[in-house]
Structure 1
Amino acid sequence: MSILEFLIAINGMAELWSADRVFLGLLSSNQYSSPTLNMRKYVNLDGIYGSFSGIQSIRNSVGMYSGTSGIYSPYNIFCLNPPFVLYQNQPVLVVTRNAHFQTNGVPVVNPDFLLGVYAQLDSSAQILNNSTPMDRVNEAARNTMDVLNNASAIAASMFH
């Protein structure tokens, strides 16, 4: 199973935790799920999880758990203690941009890819609720191509 397939399968059932054991949010494409971590700007706009200003959000550019210098931030390329995804009480993914982080066999996922997957799933769900069956088929095909193109671009950027 690929990381993309795994992230889709654990939608709404896995949690993001910091290395210092602080809960950073539920990985969910459901914008109304609380507490949720999602790429959409309107999700938890005033909350601590998933917002650009929340103290426990990886999207806050100046927090301990975010930004390029946060000591527990997945965006800090030198971070020695990045957050991890917990599923069924087991760490299943490390979320980091640190290409040299030693994970002891736990797969690594780029934070932008992780957030992008759930944002895309949220967009797809909204389309399903407001369209005809043929619209859904066409939009699903476009979304699939967009996800694959975005995943390829993120993967390529990791090797520069």
Structure 2
Amino acid sequence: MPEFMQTRSQTSISDNGMINQVSGTDILMKIPTLFRPYVELFQAIDGHGQLWSPSGQFLGRLCSDIHKSNSIINPDGEYGSPYSLTSIHNRECEYGGETGEYSPFNPNSKNPPIVFYRCQPLFVITTHLALYTNGLKLIDPYLMLTLYEALSRIPKPAPNSSPTLIHSSASVEELQTKLRPLNGSAFYASPSLSSQLI
């Protein structure tokens, strides 16, 4: 079994009172095979990838921990809140919605956010499928957010236990090699994808 799939199990109680064992492997197995290379990529940069607008505004960290204040999936944090002026989730600001000048959801934005890792640009988050990026790959924001939501449901290791996910030890070159065969624009995901994975 690949290292990224070796996870602890978590006990949950269903609505009818039954005890269910949910493991990280179960969650990852729900993700279609087509998207597994993206899962590996997002796990490798989890907590270390940074989302930046070309305007110079920091837009948060790509982090599956919804409790981290700077995570893009923390609904109460500055970068994950639908009300924050520096969140891609705010449909009314320049960084979010389908009309925001710097929004990854604007299919006409010429300046969508870029993910940086170790101070190097890795890829562009956008729904603008024909955007010229000077060689950077395009990755759909719905796909990225859906996968981070799925990763957030994987049980985290207990303190002083072995890690369950790949932690950021990959070099920029290794990640760029992983990105080469991926074609984010071909895997455009709609918001309904999240309901299939979760």
- Residue matched to 2:40: 5
One-letter identity of the residue aligned with 1:34: S
State the shift of 1:5 in Å. Answer: 1.6
Q: Higher helix proportion, which one? A: 1
Give the number of equivalent residue pairs: 128
Q: How does 1:47-86 map to 2 (within 5 A)?
A: 47-86=77-116
TM-score, length of structure 1 as denominator length: 0.73
* Structure 1 match to 2:124: 94
Distance 2:49 2:187 in 1: 23
Asked if structure 1 preserves the Cα contact closer than 8 Å seen for 2:140 and 2:189, the reply is no
**Higher RCO (CA-CA < 8 Å; seq separation 6+):** 2
Aligned pair 1:121/2:167, yes or no?
no
Higher-Rg member (1/2): 2
- Give the Å deviation of 1:104: 1.3
**2:102, 2:146 → 1: CA distance?**
20
Tell me what 2:57 maps to.
22
The residue type paired with residue 26 of structure 1 is R
Kindly provide the CA deviation profile for residues 68-117 of structure 1, in whole angstroms up to 9, marking residues without a partner as x: 10000001100000001010100101000001101111111101111111
Deviation, structure 1 residue 125: 2.2
The CA RMSD over aligned residues, in Å, is 2.1
Distance across 2 between alignment mates of 1:121 and 1:66: 22
Aligned to 2:134: 104
1:157 is displaced (CA, Å) by 5.0
With structure 2 as the length reference, what TM-score do the two structures score?
0.60
User: Are 2:115 and 2:124, in contact at CA under 8 Å, matched by a contact in 1?
Assistant: yes
Q: Is the 8 A contact 2:69 2:78 kept in 1?
A: no
